[in-house]
Structure 1
Amino acid sequence: MADRTLTILIHVAAAGIAAALPAPLSAEPQDDEAPAIVVTGNGLPDTPATPAYDTQVLDRERLVATGSGRIEDALAAVAGFQQFRRSDSRSSNPSAQGVTLRALGGNATSRAQLLLDGVPMSDPFFGYIPFSAIAPERLASARVTRGGGSGPFGAGALAGTIELSSADAQTLGPLGGQALVNDRGETETSIAMAPRLGAGFAVLSGRWDRGDGFVTTPASQQVPATARAAYDAWSIQARGVAPLGPNVELQARALAYRDERTLRFDGADSSTAGQDASVRVVGRGSWQFDGLAYIQARNFTNVVVSSTSFRPVLDQRNTPATGLGGKLEVRPPTGDSNVLRIGMDYRKASGQLYEDAINAGTGTVTQRRDAGGANTDLGFFAENDLSVGSVTLTGGLRADRYTIRDGFYRARNSAGMTLVEERYPDRAGWQTSLRAGAVLRAGAGLRLRAAAYTGLRLPTLNELYRPFTVFPVTTQANAGLRPERLKGFEAGIDFSPAANIDLSFTAFDNTVERAIANVTIGPNLRQRRNIDAIEARGIEANAGLTIGPIRFDGALAYTRAQARGSGAAAALDGNRPAQTPRLFAGGTLAWRPSERTLLALTLRHVGAQFEDDLETDRLTGATTVDAFARVPVDRRIAFIVRGENLADSAIVTRNQGGSIDLGAPRTVWAGLEIAL
């Protein structure tokens, strides 16, 4: 089914390219000058109804001008954005890097869809985002749409969509890079070459981050086995964009990365690795189209160390996973006041884990476990935007055929004798999702909008088949999990009375039915289960103000979220979902007296939240201050200084029965940026 569907996508895309290409040219030129061919490296333009949904765009400057230099730090400026844990991609377990929006969290899997140049970036097995492989300096912008989506890859956009776009050659320049070191001796190095090749361009970039890290354990809980959160991560990306005709361009991208980390104790090492490749063809003629095919090979390893004996008790030695998919979107000519999008997409996620249970006393293997399966989703979507005077109406429908199959779990003893052999029945079904919205341009910079939507997310292979332990708590998998379902609506106001003022306000009500949560079922024992729902109601506000060289950007999110449970999950009914703060507020004040000079100060507050579903372990609120400065030395070299958590606030990232982990302390970076 996977190969057949991907073949269909490629053939349909090829047919669209052939139809969009101009007729063959004769030997004699027909005009004195050939038409200029311009490639952008982007996808199709936004539709007129894009503002109907709660959308925020971060430009390149806001992505790179952060205290940490991490993409997750830049995205944290968006009201409602959160990771499962507060720690960044240097000091957390990679499998905890799930992202969501609007306090719809609850476990470590992403409920928001993150796309890089149109390609879903979530790990095929776990659903986390490999943030360390996404370098902000490679990007041109990030657009965050909160709320469900019915367009391409909408089956993963339960809480919203984060669309990252790579920078082009003009933005990056022929050759550039930077090198920084912090006060702990850790380093960050990146380089990018972006030559123009005829009418197209190529980009080759690399980044390497390494360091001994900081101690995540509070001083009162440190033991001889306590280790620094050391990290060593590199990534290389190659991207090419070339014209196939005046209105058609080919985009290709390859990404390879590896990330190694240590968390909490000596020997508690984890690693992630990936190799991604994608090909995209975009047509911008009268018949617009966007065809994409991609493949991803990922892996994860992790050693669990006992919090009492401080010896390895589990070696998750190999977790190979493959993501395979593609899409085709077509926009036929339907008149100046109408935009119609129709298309299909496909995604297959398959993977398998291999792990060894170890006797902490003797160091011998007691069990060898193997589990895995495959999930597929084939989606068909259509959406139409109609503009009538100052009003734009939009409506979209999506139908998904999903399968959950080939699931198994097997355990053997050290002698190879089978202890457990389970095969889970294959499942399949259809789910429909829809969304509708309206935008009224009321004049004087005032825009009123409203939208309603539904959405879908399949349980990941990790949630279905992989148990895990974060001592002293064990969380069991659940092969019977059902897909999550979102229902939501929102209304908002955007006000921009002048070019230098942007204000927006949104009120929303979102409910995830059959939400997958880690449910406590015994002392130090949880299981992933479908609870009745997670309900989230709240407000989001953004403000942007420019006065000469000074710019202020602020964001606020206040959410009342509740978990609904019955039966075995009745104890969590009415509680706030795990890992979801009630309040987020932040702002950045920037001064840019010249094109290359930038000074920025960022203040953020994240409210208190709970580690678990029963609200027994509390994570206190945290307020942080970050800074960024870029001062040119000459026209090619600039001096950079960055500061993380300058007030040295205690950021509690984990609390399990009083066992605490902390986020990054005060850290100062300095280095040079070179642009040739």
Structure 2
Amino acid sequence: MTLFCSAPLAAQEISCEGDGCDAPAAIIVTGQGLEQTPATPAYSQQEIGRERLTSSASGRIEDALSDVAGFQQFRRSDSRSSNPSAQGVTLRALGGNATSRALVLLDGVPMADPFFGYIPLSALAPERLASARVTRGGGSGAFGSGAVAGTIELESAGPDELGLFSGALLANHRGATEASATLTPELGAGFAVVTGRWDRGPGFFTTPADQRVPASAKSEFDSWSVGLRTAVPLGDDVELQTRGLVFDDRRTLRFDGADSSASGQDASLRIIGRGDWEFDVLGYLQYRDFSNVVISSTRFVKVLDQRKTPSNGIGGKIEIRPPVGQDHVLRIGADYRGSSGNLLEESFSAFTGDLRERRRAGGENSTFGLFAEHDWTLGDLILTGGLRADRWSIRGGYYEARDAAGVLLTDDRFADRSGWDASFRAGALFSASENISLRAAAYSGVRVPTLNELYRPFVVFPVVTQANEALENEKLIGFEAGFDYALSSRSQLSVTAFQNRVKDAVANVTLTPTLRQRRNLDAVRSRGLEVIAKTGFGAIDLFGSLAWTDAEIEGSGASLALDGNRPPQTPKLAASATLAYRSADGWDLSATLRHVGAQFEDDQETFVLPAATTVNAFAKIPLAAGFSIILRAENLLDEEIMTRNQAGSIDLGVPRTIWAGIRIGG
């Protein structure tokens, strides 16, 4: 953790007079959460620092997180050329649908959309962050429920990283622009961070040239976000943090008129205590909305207008760390997360253009958890164990359809459900020598289906995917073992072997060639090997990661035909390697090689997305007065990246894209 303690912005001098007066004390404001516990390294982790976050070729958070082999979205597209509802993130090839199986936190706040479960990636600007810590494997412990594939913790940057003012303006060769600015003024003895970013551009054709029609459109995008964060002292060791985020994201995909939008307004308040009794008290509110127009791929007219999907999230957490001894860290607490939302959509005839139906669907779900976790240091051995009990509820679910005249066609009201689920995580970390650490862990986790999975049908024309109000909770059990070898602070190797199994995994199951439904599979099982390595000499660093996974579906009954199949959208091999040069006078040059193995589009293993190997590049060339020239190249070798293959109807990912611009500070 980086502490910011430069007076007067983060340290307030306390004066005294007379004999026996000690030296002035300082109130230190960090803007961050509590320290990581000693047993944190017992779980498979990879941390991405600010230098790497701000030097990705695309300037997008999903690009930076792809340094962690095994990180993936539901589809290979980035957050400029995909539907926002496809931005579910996962780890360890556990597959799934557009809902995230990894728990993504920003300054302790879950960022998943309350209705869909996707992550608003375009609103998570890398230049605002100090670090990203990725823990692969389930067992959410004190983080809250939902981490069946892992946890991604994003920490916001403070004055140390940002300076008083920083900003950038870039453009690419297709006419897109990226503008960002950050102001970090003093706020009494603390600080404020005001940020803004605007990305817009005409995009590129995601449809291959030989499949384009007059209605084909480029992946035009226009997104902006504004954030405000403050950190001020409430005493010698108590700190108040607030955060607000407003964002709007609009995209066009494949055809003229196939427009989608995602917007949100988030607010949170957090009180951190770093005294003898450490504590973290957090509360947050979220309001999100989503709309999407579906265009027929045969007649190229509007067939579905998902006009609005307003949803609300509310939650909080209380964690207390009592003073239980020098070799012990005890965490106890409770957390709550509630979601509510409604879908409003209209369907139209592809032949006449007339309105056919108006549909409404939605409901509420929530989890209330109690947790306790204990780390115990015994010389070179650190043991950790934690338990959670989650009370979950699914209630108020409904689906209603009316014809164009307002006559009621369907009026389903679904039964409320609730229950308790327990989960655990435990690990051991042993320092075998000055250079080698051994670790092992076992864990379980629970994820409640999202409102989207329970109640919202959707169309990727001509395929209809039905919702399923009877979905059961996903339950994970897993274990892993590995070692970390550190020859020096710059030369390190980490190897982890793992096996995870998600029982009742929710998936889009094919019923007919044009009909799917969300159903619980018996399980998805994933086992594999993860390797992280880095080394460096002088101003040069080389680092990389590799994930090899053997994943398969366990199916019976309606899903018997899927038994033994690989989950859709999950490659067997993913790897990333970066060579970087960073000089003392501010030069920053890097090139990144990424490989994603072949994967299947569908659960029937019918349509293949071929393997893709890409090269990205970044250059920061310092000028005078804190200014730098920025050059970026995405997919430098112009590799064809297939992101969708529906019976030969293909979408492609980002082609070669060259960016140039200027940056100040940061």
- The amino acid across from 2:576 in the alignment is G
Separation in structure 2 between the aligned mates of residue 30 and residue 142 of structure 1, nearest angstrom: 45
Separation in structure 1 between the aligned mates of residue 16 and residue 358 of structure 2, nearest angstrom: 68
Correspondent of 2:162 among 161, 172, 175: 172
Q: Which residue of 2 aligns with 1:397?
A: 387
Q: Work out whether 1:527 is the aligned partner of 2:517.
A: yes
Q: Which residue of 1 aligns with 2:222?
A: 232
Q: Which residue of 1 aligns with 2:4?
A: none
**CA deviation digits over 1:141-165, x for unaligned, max 9?**
0000111123234311111100000
Q: Which residue of 1 aligns with 2:335?
A: 345
Q: CA deviation at 1:255?
A: 0.2
CA contact (8 A) 2:58 2:632 kept: yes
Q: CA separation of 1:30/1:295 partners in 2, compared to 1, >3 Å: closer, same or farther?
A: farther
Q: Which residue of 2 aligns with 1:299?
A: 289
Indicate the RMSD between aligned Cα atoms, in angstroms.
Answer: 1.4
Correspondent of 1:631 among 621, 626, 643: 621
Which TM-score applies when normalising by structure 1? 0.95
Q: Which residue of 1 aligns with 2:9?
A: none
Separation in structure 2 between the aligned mates of residue 131 and residue 62 of structure 1, nearest angstrom: 17
- The amino acid across from 2:381 in the alignment is V
Separation in structure 2 between the aligned mates of residue 187 and residue 173 of structure 1, nearest angstrom: 24
Separation in structure 2 between the aligned mates of residue 28 and residue 378 of structure 1, nearest angstrom: 53
Q: Which residue of 1 aligns with 2:280?
A: 290
CA contact (8 A) 1:154 1:455 kept: no
Q: Which residue of 2 aligns with 1:662?
A: 652
Q: Which residue of 2 aligns with 1:420?
A: 410
CA contact (8 A) 1:169 1:196 kept: no
Q: Which residue of 1 aligns with 2:583?
A: 593
Separation in structure 2 between the aligned mates of residue 354 and residue 27 of structure 1, nearest angstrom: 67
Q: CA deviation at 1:675?
A: 2.5
Q: CA deviation at 1:498?
A: 1.3
- The amino acid across from 2:580 in the alignment is A
Q: CA separation of 1:25/1:181 partners in 2, compared to 1, >3 Å: closer, same or farther?
A: closer
CA contact (8 A) 1:150 1:397 kept: no
**CA deviation digits over 1:412-437, x for unaligned, max 9?**
01111100000000000000001111
- The amino acid across from 1:223 in the alignment is V
Correspondent of 1:251 among 241, 262, 266: 241
Secondary structure at 1:74's aligned position in 2?
helix
Q: Which residue of 1 aligns with 2:536?
A: 546
Q: CA separation of 1:633/1:155 partners in 2, compared to 1, >3 Å: closer, same or farther?
A: same
Structure 2 gap segments, 5+ residues each: 1-13
Secondary structure at 1:245's aligned position in 2?
coil
**CA deviation digits over 1:540-580, x for unaligned, max 9?**
00001011100011100000000111111111110000100
CA contact (8 A) 2:142 2:372 kept: no
CA contact (8 A) 2:141 2:424 kept: no
Correspondent of 2:347 among 357, 363, 383: 357
Separation in structure 1 between the aligned mates of residue 19 and residue 440 of structure 2, nearest angstrom: 52
Secondary structure at 1:443's aligned position in 2?
coil
Correspondent of 2:323 among 313, 328, 333: 333
Correspondent of 1:65 among 55, 63, 67: 55
Q: CA separation of 1:183/1:29 partners in 2, compared to 1, >3 Å: closer, same or farther?
A: farther
Q: CA deviation at 1:231?
A: 0.1
Secondary structure at 1:156's aligned position in 2?
coil
Q: Work out whether 1:494 is the aligned partner of 2:518.
A: no
Q: Which residue of 2 aligns with 1:8?
A: none
Q: Work out whether 1:51 is the aligned partner of 2:38.
A: no
Q: Which residue of 2 aligns with 1:430?
A: 420
Separation in structure 1 between the aligned mates of residue 404 and residue 631 of structure 2, nearest angstrom: 53
Q: Which residue of 1 aligns with 2:11?
A: none
Q: Work out whether 1:481 is the aligned partner of 2:455.
A: no
Q: Which residue of 2 aligns with 1:12?
A: none
Separation in structure 1 between the aligned mates of residue 154 and residue 282 of structure 2, nearest angstrom: 16
Q: CA deviation at 1:596?
A: 2.1
**CA deviation digits over 1:646-668, x for unaligned, max 9?**
00000000000100000000000
Secondary structure at 2:452's aligned position in 1?
helix
- The amino acid across from 1:540 in the alignment is E
Correspondent of 2:89 among 99, 111, 116: 99
Q: CA deviation at 1:106?
A: 2.2
CA contact (8 A) 1:437 1:452 kept: yes
Separation in structure 1 between the aligned mates of residue 462 and residue 646 of structure 2, nearest angstrom: 8
Secondary structure at 2:234's aligned position in 1?
strand
**CA deviation digits over 1:17-75, x for unaligned, max 9?**
xxxxxxx9999998365410111111110111101100111000111111100000000
Secondary structure at 1:429's aligned position in 2?
strand
Separation in structure 2 between the aligned mates of residue 595 and residue 515 of structure 1, nearest angstrom: 51
Separation in structure 2 between the aligned mates of residue 154 and residue 293 of structure 1, nearest angstrom: 13
Q: CA separation of 1:557/1:421 partners in 2, compared to 1, >3 Å: closer, same or farther?
A: same
Secondary structure at 2:85's aligned position in 1?
helix
Percent identity among equivalent residues? Answer: 61
Q: CA separation of 1:27/1:258 partners in 2, compared to 1, >3 Å: closer, same or farther?
A: farther
Correspondent of 1:126 among 112, 116, 119: 116
Equivalent positions of 1:196-207 (< 5 A) are 196-207=186-197
Separation in structure 2 between the aligned mates of residue 489 and residue 42 of structure 1, nearest angstrom: 30
CA contact (8 A) 2:359 2:401 kept: yes
**CA deviation digits over 1:229-276, x for unaligned, max 9?**
000000000000000111110000000000000000000000000000
- Comparing 318-327 with 632-641, which one deviates more in the overlay? 632-641
CA contact (8 A) 2:144 2:335 kept: no
Separation in structure 1 between the aligned mates of residue 610 and residue 624 of structure 2, nearest angstrom: 45
Separation in structure 2 between the aligned mates of residue 278 and residue 499 of structure 1, nearest angstrom: 36
Separation in structure 1 between the aligned mates of residue 192 and residue 361 of structure 2, nearest angstrom: 41
Correspondent of 1:215 among 194, 197, 205: 205
Q: Work out whether 1:380 is the aligned partner of 2:370.
A: yes
Q: CA separation of 1:494/1:411 partners in 2, compared to 1, >3 Å: closer, same or farther?
A: same
Equivalent positions of 1:260-299 (< 5 A) are 260-299=250-289
Secondary structure at 1:92's aligned position in 2?
coil
**CA deviation digits over 1:365-400, x for unaligned, max 9?**
110000000000000000000010100001000000
Separation in structure 1 between the aligned mates of residue 20 and residue 663 of structure 2, nearest angstrom: 48
CA contact (8 A) 1:434 1:455 kept: yes
- Comparing 150-159 with 77-86, which one deviates more in the overlay? 150-159
Q: Work out the number of aligned pairs and report it.
A: 653
Q: Which residue of 1 aligns with 2:310?
A: 320
CA contact (8 A) 1:356 1:369 kept: yes
Correspondent of 2:631 among 617, 641, 644: 641
Q: CA separation of 1:387/1:267 partners in 2, compared to 1, >3 Å: closer, same or farther?
A: same
Separation in structure 1 between the aligned mates of residue 26 and residue 431 of structure 2, nearest angstrom: 35
Separation in structure 1 between the aligned mates of residue 356 and residue 513 of structure 2, nearest angstrom: 23
**CA deviation digits over 1:157-180, x for unaligned, max 9?**
111100000000121011110000
CA contact (8 A) 1:248 1:281 kept: yes
**CA deviation digits over 1:112-166, x for unaligned, max 9?**
0000000000000000000000000000000001111232343111111000000
Correspondent of 1:371 among 348, 361, 372: 361
CA contact (8 A) 1:106 1:580 kept: no
CA contact (8 A) 2:140 2:146 kept: no
Equivalent positions of 1:129-168 (< 5 A) are 129-168=119-158
Separation in structure 2 between the aligned mates of residue 156 and residue 410 of structure 1, nearest angstrom: 29
**CA deviation digits over 1:595-638, x for unaligned, max 9?**
52100000000000001100011000000000000001113110
Structure 1 gap segments, 5+ residues each: 1-23
